Amino acid sequence: MDEKWLTPTEFLEKTPTYSSSPDYGEPVSDCEEQANTLASLLITSGQYNESTVRVAIGKVDFGNVSGGHAWVEVYENGEWFPLDPTEGPYYDNENCSIVPADVSEINYDEYLESTYPAAKVWYYYNNKYFMEVGKQNENVPVFWNEQPESYPEKQNGDNQAFRNKRLESYPD
């Protein structure tokens, strides 16, 4: 099967009727499509703009599961904080079933104060900017070089050590 990038409109309007959808009638996609859609919705809301919303691509470590992931970061009150649009129901490939979640119980304010399990960040982007972490990026806002305080390594205190660790672990 070929991979295809979806626009937020395609994701919301067309995926519910894809014959391959494991949950016919509902938008279904991977973390990147969900992150792209959330970033686009936040920007078009007028509350944020291209400078203050970005998609992060990297590796997360949730303890029992780790791997590549996409999530959103929002710049508010002088700092970035992550939002994960994939929190909620999901399709379990192994059991071929939807695993329900009560999304009414998700407290998005928790992202402001809790640790987000980002192990590595490779890229940041949105519809206007693209930034490869650890490379010189002249076209992005200066504060795009900052990362959320809620990442585990940053909570240990030494921001320069955090940046150096990121650069050393960046894939060639």
Tell me if 2 is assigned to some domain: no
pLDDT tens profile 72-98: 999 999 999 999 888 777 677 788 777
pLDDT tens profile 117-168: 999 999 999 999 999 998 878 899 999 999 998 888 753 333 333 333 333 4
Tell me if 55 is assigned to some domain: yes
Question: What's residue 172's pLDDT?
Answer: 37
Tell me if 1 is assigned to some domain: no
Q: What CATH number is associated with residue 121?
A: 3.10.620
- Other Cβ atoms less than 10 A from the Cβ of 129: the count is 15
Tell me if 132 is assigned to some domain: yes
φ, ψ for residue 44 (rounded to 5)? -75, -15
Distance CA(41)–CA(51), nearest Å, equals 14
Tell me if 103 is assigned to some domain: yes
Tell me if 3 is assigned to some domain: no
Distance CA(64)–CA(59), nearest Å, equals 14
Domain count, the chain: 1
- Can you say whether the dihedral through the CA atoms of 157, 63, 105, 49 is positive or negative? positive
pLDDT tens profile 151-163: 887 533 333 333 3
Distance CA(126)–CA(128), nearest Å, equals 5
- Can you say whether the dihedral through the CA atoms of 101, 105, 107, 108 is positive or negative? positive
Low-confidence winner among 30-44, 46-60, 104-118 (lowest mean pLDDT) = 104-118
Task: Find the domain containing 146 and state its range.
Answer: 8-169
Q: What is the DSSP string of 105-133?
A: G--GGGGGTSPP-EEEEEEEE-SS-EEET
CA-based radius of gyration for the chain: 17
